[in-house]
Amino acid sequence: MSTSPATTVSVHAAETLLFFTLLQLAVIVLIGRLGGALAIRAGQSPVVGEILGGVVLGPSLFGLLWPDIFTFVFRSAPPEPLTILSQLGLILLMFQIGLEFDFSHLKERRNRRAVRNVALAGLLLPFALGFGFGYQTAPLLSPEADRIASALFVATAFSITALPILGRIMIEFGMTDHKLGVIAISVAAINDVVGWLLLAVVTALTVAAYSHAEFALKVGLVAAFVGLSWFVARPVMKWLVRRLHKAGAGLTGNQLGVLLAGIFLAGICTYKLGIFAIFGGFMMGVLLHDEAELRAAWKDRVGHFVTVFFLPIFFTYTGLRTEIGGLDTLQLWGWCALVILLATMGKFGGAYLAARLSGLDRHESAILGIMMNTRALMELIVLNVGYDLGVISRNVFTMLVLMAIVSTVLTTPCLRAWLPKTAPEA
């Protein structure tokens, strides 16, 4: 039986695509591990090195210094495989974030006044500054985007705090039981909840093209999805997870299969609702957040693979969109500096002032401010959503990526400098 020429060409094209995808993945995973290791040696969180590694692999450095090699590795084949893998990894990562979300922080009574004040100021001030900046500069920096939509996404980006990264940094500094640690993680939890709600609402508003009827319908459908997920899907998923559990077996194959199917189906639902599949992954994680054994088993069996393999792909995917060289005028770099300044003023300034009004001293208030200014991964997720919707330009995307990197890099050295100045807890 002979093979037709068309079949031969199809097989060859598939093998070529596979070759370049494997080449890209090999480079990405190795650079991700190298970046994480170098960050640790520099006293930073590994995620800082992984984010910088993704930017290094993009046109900002790799493409600038070795354009021919960059083109061969990342431009010789269609970008769809890397795009799909990055989005798939992001859905799994969002499930993991939801699964590890500790809602007890939202009920914390200790220092409740400080938590309430810092959370409120740490959301309202950066949102106001971000909206003002986005609205005033949209005609100049994102001329093809809707002005209101652009302003809303910049405002949301300014408001985000990276709870998972902050939690990891707090563990490294032994702050999990410290008064400031309790306040910070509680505030970050509130920020995360409100931040994701903001992102979902802003996304729905943008997709609805500001039609009040369509927006109301989308919000209603999202609310119905959340209600059905909590009251119908949650008990079913919890029953299945427990039914398929085997003592001492960790995460069984059947449990993993049901979880993956549930995550993907939830992603399909939120995609059809017009608010991106990643929200479905996050929602499924939230539904099962109180299954302690499942959380530990997922982290042990799947979590490391997600962070080692999928997370660097997402960072590189972001890095390939980040063109620092696109900021080719002093004016653009001036706007970039203003973005970093306003975002820092909003988070750090709002948290600092609220903490001082709540009775904390200036060193404690400064520590809370810098912790709230940690953005990292959460920021990049928001930025990619905004960029995919076309409400921020590539230059604004680059500015906000740089803001996320700077805010995260500053956290560790500032904590080292200021923590010793606080009074030890009794």
204 lies in a domain? yes
Per the structure, the count of domains in the chain is 1
**Rounded to an integer, what is the distance from CA 98 to the centroid of its chain?**
12
68 lies in a domain? no
Report the largest interatomic distance among the alpha carbons of the chain, rounded to a whole angstrom: 83
- Cβ-contact 353, 364 below 8 angstroms: no
152 lies in a domain? yes
pLDDT tens track, the chain, 426 positions: 555 666 666 777 888 999 999 999 999 999 999 998 999 898 888 888 888 898 999 998 899 899 999 999 998 888 889 889 988 988 998 898 888 776 665 565 656 788 888 989 989 999 999 999 999 999 999 998 889 989 999 999 998 887 667 777 776 777 766 778 778 877 887 887 787 778 878 887 777 766 677 777 877 888 899 899 999 999 999 999 999 888 777 788 899 999 999 999 999 998 888 777 888 888 899 899 888 889 888 988 898 898 889 888 988 888 888 889 889 899 999 999 999 999 999 999 999 999 999 888 888 889 889 988 888 777 888 888 889 888 999 999 999 999 999 988 888 888 888 888 775 554
Tokens standing for residue 330? 């002093």
Cα distance between residue 97 and residue 192, in whole Å: 10
What is the pTM (predicted TM-score) of this model? 0.81
Q: What number of other Cβ atoms are within 10 A of residue 71's Cβ? A: 12
150 lies in a domain? yes
299 lies in a domain? yes
- What pLDDT is stored for residue 47 in this prediction? 82
Domain that holds residue 146: 81-421
Residues 6+ apart with CB under 8 A from 313: 25, 28, 82, 85, 86, 89
- What pLDDT is stored for residue 185 in this prediction? 76
66 lies in a domain? no
Residues 6+ apart with CB under 8 A from 225: 269, 270, 273, 283
Alpha-carbon distances of 155 from 76, 98, 129, rounded to whole Å? 37, 23, 7
Report the CATH number at residue 290.
1.20.1530.20
- What pLDDT is stored for residue 230 in this prediction? 93
Cα distance between residue 102 and residue 289, in whole Å: 7
29 lies in a domain? no
Phi/psi-derived region of residue 100, left when phi > 0, alpha when psi is between -120 and 50, beta in every other case: alpha
- What pLDDT is stored for residue 20 in this prediction? 94
37 lies in a domain? no
Helix pair 330-344, 147-159: axis angle to 10 deg: 50
- Cβ-contact 132, 148 below 8 angstroms: no
